[in-house]
Amino acid sequence: MTSGVTNARNERIFKKTSDQISSETARVLETLRSRADYTREFDYFLELAESGMTPEAAETRTGLTTIKLLCVQAPLELIHAAGFHPFKVFCGSNAACNLASRGLPALACPMLRSVIGAAKLAQSSSESPWVLPTTCDWVVKFPEMLAISDVAGEPDSIRVHWLELPHLKDRDDGQRRWIEEIYNFKKFLTSDGRRIKRAALAESVAIYRRAWQALVRLSDLRREGRLSSIWFMLMTGVFFCDSPQNWTTAAERAANSQMTPALRGAKVFLAGSPIFFPNFKIPFLLEEAGLEVVSDDLCSSERIFPGSVACGDESEFGLMSAMSQSYHQGCVCPTFIDNDRRINNILGRMKGAGFKGVVFHVLKGCHPYDLESFGIETKLKDRGLKFIRLETDYSGEDSRNLNTRLEAFRQTIRED
């Protein structure tokens, strides 16, 4: 009897949340479609966003079993070469986040809460395994959070393959252990008897290289002010929803098309915690305040995959080690201990584009980014650059407060 009532109640809550998610998505999509700089070339990306950004949808689209990922350290090329579709699970829905909030620590990462909320709603959850690199504490505890939230039974009933991430990336022993992890990962991927041939690996490397080339072209267009950051973030945001080849083709088509120039504003670099569709609160607020993001280092955007699997050695081992290194050493995730060179990426990107402000987005509960922002602030200010930290979550209640700050920030970086 009681459980019947609970179920009925849950059903109502789920129904309401689903509706909220749909309307969140619809609202953002409508805003995007009605923008002055919308062109038909963006339709592919809008449609991907519209048709549900879930591993199930990606499975239908690619015809491949997905491997569900969090973070950006699992080599996509290896997964692809094994005949799976790598899908980085993310969610930017505030409603989904709220749904999962009950029963989870108040400061739990909003992104993971949102993912868990979405998983709660999913009727038929994909059976595909999770591959989780041990980046931050929230990711490490993710299966436990899934269990607490009744998405899964016991934490060990969830199929997870861990990639134990050596947090010292600059040291040879750290890199050795990581390569070992990648070989273990290969074993995991091939546990059903399938094989990963060198040629397949080389082909996957080439496929993602082409995707990266397209990504770099888009980021160059953004830097030149010919592509709005909002569109750039949409395009990178849906990267995992389709095969990398299809995405690349669409991205190349968009890059080749005559785009309406982006809305011009004061140029800034966006750093910090990732931003996921449909939670485009920060990008919209930045635009509203007259700030134009011309480069970023978000793992949801420019850093969505490292793309630089370059090596002198084309053998299988050469590819494997090049891959593992670019996903490890090449990553500037703040969960690394020796991450002091991250600032150089920001400075390097700024130098080329001649802008002088950094907006640092901290998702509440994202402690590594929060902590690292202080050191970066000092270093940037020492160089006479302007810095603003925006600590926020998925809810829109602080929009006016953020707007006030951003407008004032724009004044501080305005050209005389």
Partner 1 sequence: MKVRNIRSVTQHLGFLILMYGGRFGVRLGSALPCFACPFVPGCGGYCYLMGLQGYIGFGMGALTGVGLMTALSWFALFVFLVAMLGKLWCGWICPFGLVQDWLSALRGKLGVRERQITQRMKRRMAMVKYGLLAYIAILPPLATLGFLHEDFYLPFCDICPGKSLLPLFAGETRYLALNFDNGVSLGFSIALLVITGIMLVGMFFKDRFFCIFCPLLALIHILKPLTALRLFKLPEACTGCGTCRRVCPMDIEDVYRQRTSPDVQTDECLDCAKCAESCPADGAIGLKFLKFKLFLSSRSYAADSRKKS
Partner 2 sequence: MSVAVGLDLGSTSIKTIFVKGDRAIWRGVAPTAPGQENVARSLINDGLSACGLTRGDISAVASTGYGKKLFPSADRYIDEISANAAGAFKMSGRQARTIVNIGGQDLKVLFLGSDGRVEDFRMNDKCAAGTGRFFELVARLLDTPLSGFDRLYEAASGDVEINSTCVVFAESEIVSLMARGIKKEDIAGALYASVARRIAGLLGSSSEGGAIYIDGGPAQNRALANALEDELMTEVRVLEAPQYTVAYGATMMLEGGD
**Sites of contact with partner 2 (CB under 8 A):** 381, 386, 391-392, 397-398, 400-401, 404-405, 407-408, 410-412, 414
381 binds partner 1 (CB under 8 A): no
Residues 337 to 356 in contact with partner 1, rule: CB under 8 A:
341-342, 344-345, 347-349, 351-352
**337 near 353, Cβ under 8 Å?**
no
**Residue 147 binds: one of partner 1, partner 2, none (C-beta under 5 to 8 A by kind):** none
Q: Decide whether 173 or 416 has the Cβ nearer to partner 2.
A: 416
Q: Decide whether 172 or 416 has the Cβ nearer to partner 2.
A: 416
Quote the least distance from Cβ 336 to partner 1, whole Å.
10
**Residue 400 binds: one of partner 2, partner 1, none (C-beta under 5 to 8 A by kind):** partner 2
Q: If we measure between CA atoms, which residue out of 135, 156, 405, 137 comes closest to residue 291?
A: 405
Other beta carbons within 10 angstroms of residue 123's beta carbon come to: 6
The H-assigned helical ranges of 55-131 are 55-62, 76-81, 94-101, 110-121
Residues 318 to 337 in contact with partner 1, rule: CB under 8 A:
318, 321-322, 325-326, 329-330, 332
**Residue 216 binds: one of partner 2, partner 1, none (C-beta under 5 to 8 A by kind):** partner 1
With tokens 């407008």, the residue in question is 407
Output the six-digit token pair for 351: 């130098």
166 binds partner 1 (CB under 8 A): no
**51 near 25, Cβ under 8 Å?**
no
What's the rounded Cα separation, in Å, for the pair 311 and 314? 7
Q: Decide whether 227 or 390 has the Cβ nearer to partner 1.
A: 227
Q: Decide whether 57 or 347 has the Cβ nearer to partner 1.
A: 347
Quote the least distance from Cβ 405 to partner 2, whole Å.
5
Output the six-digit token pair for 400: 């006016």
Buried b (16+ CB within 10 A) or exposed e, 30-45: eebeebebbeebbebb
Q: Decide whether 96 or 215 has the Cβ nearer to partner 1.
A: 215
**Residue 306 binds: one of partner 1, partner 2, none (C-beta under 5 to 8 A by kind):** partner 1
What's the rounded Cα separation, in Å, for the pair 104 and 126? 23
Quote the least distance from Cβ 263 to partner 2, whole Å.
15
What's the rounded Cα separation, in Å, for the pair 393 and 281? 10
**226 near 39, Cβ under 8 Å?**
no
- Could you tell me which residues come within 8 angstroms of residue 253 by beta carbon, excluding any fewer than 6 positions away? 41, 44
**Residue 322 binds: one of partner 2, partner 1, none (C-beta under 5 to 8 A by kind):** partner 1
Considering only residues 117, 278, 306, 368, which one is a binding residue for partner 1 as defined by CB under 8 A? 306
9 binds partner 1 (CB under 8 A): no
**293 near 286, Cβ under 8 Å?**
yes
Provide the binding-site residues for partner 1, judged by CB under 8 A.
Answer: 169-170, 198, 202-203, 205-206, 209, 212-213, 215-217, 219-220, 306-308, 310-318, 321-322, 325-326, 329-330, 332, 341-342, 344-345, 347-349, 351-352
